[in-house]
Structure 1
Amino acid sequence: MAVEYFTLVCDDVPNDVVLIAPGARPLDVAQVVRRLTGLSLWRSKVLVDQAPAVILNGMPEETAEIAVTALRDAGAQAEVRQQPESDSPGPVA
């Protein structure tokens, strides 16, 4: 049985939402993180305190931009980063 390799081309590259700095209102940012992730307020606050941190992973670009806007409105510095493409595709059986 021969192993075949395929390269998939997607229109929408997965994006990460990265919290760079919480700004002057970390509790407000933690509340936004809580709404975005579904984590408890305590865990959201811990995540905010560990900035820079990835808040959301593998999101479509439009959803990631909305999340970054919400974080910025709360006073945080945040950005959308495209996930790097893998160099070697895996085998397809």
Structure 2
Amino acid sequence: MADEYFLLVCDDAPHDVVLTDAGVRVMDVVQVVRRLTGLSLWRSKVLATQVPAVLLAAVPEKDAAAAVSALRDAGARAETRERPEPDFP
């Protein structure tokens, strides 16, 4: 039996939240990263200082925009990226 793949089309394509620069208020950004990801303070700091970093993967566009807004309010540079559609054979 051959494997078959189906692509489900939905209204909201998944997005990634990418931290591109932590800015000068690094600890404020670390606190936001911790709140968004649920990671420990130490892991959040490591993630915030190793940019660019994908903080959230495959989240709805509305949640991604809210996360980017929170990061920007803390002084970071962040962006949302739409996930590419998989290319099934």
TM range (shorter): over 0.9
Rg larger in structure: 1
Q: TM-score, normalised by structure 2?
A: 0.92
CA distance in 1, matches of 2:5, 2:47: 39
User: How many percent identity over aligned positions?
Assistant: 67
Q: How is 1:42-81 mapped onto 2 (pairs within 5 angstroms)?
A: 42-81=42-81
Contact 2:5 2:88 in 1 (8 A): no
Q: How is 1:1-93 mapped onto 2 (pairs within 5 angstroms)?
A: 1=1, 4-88=4-88
Q: Mind listing any 5+ residue stretches in structure 1 that lack a counterpart?
A: none
- Relative to structure 1, is the Cα distance of residues 9 and 29 closer, same or farther in structure 2, using a 3 angstrom cutoff? same
Using the TM superposition, give the Cα deviation of residue 87 of structure 1 relative to its aligned residue in structure 2, in angstroms: 1.3
- Relative to structure 1, is the Cα distance of residues 2 and 16 closer, same or farther in structure 2, using a 3 angstrom cutoff? closer
Using the TM superposition, give the Cα deviation of residue 29 of structure 1 relative to its aligned residue in structure 2, in angstroms: 0.3
2:19 partner letter: L
Contact 2:20 2:52 in 1 (8 A): yes
Aligned length: 89
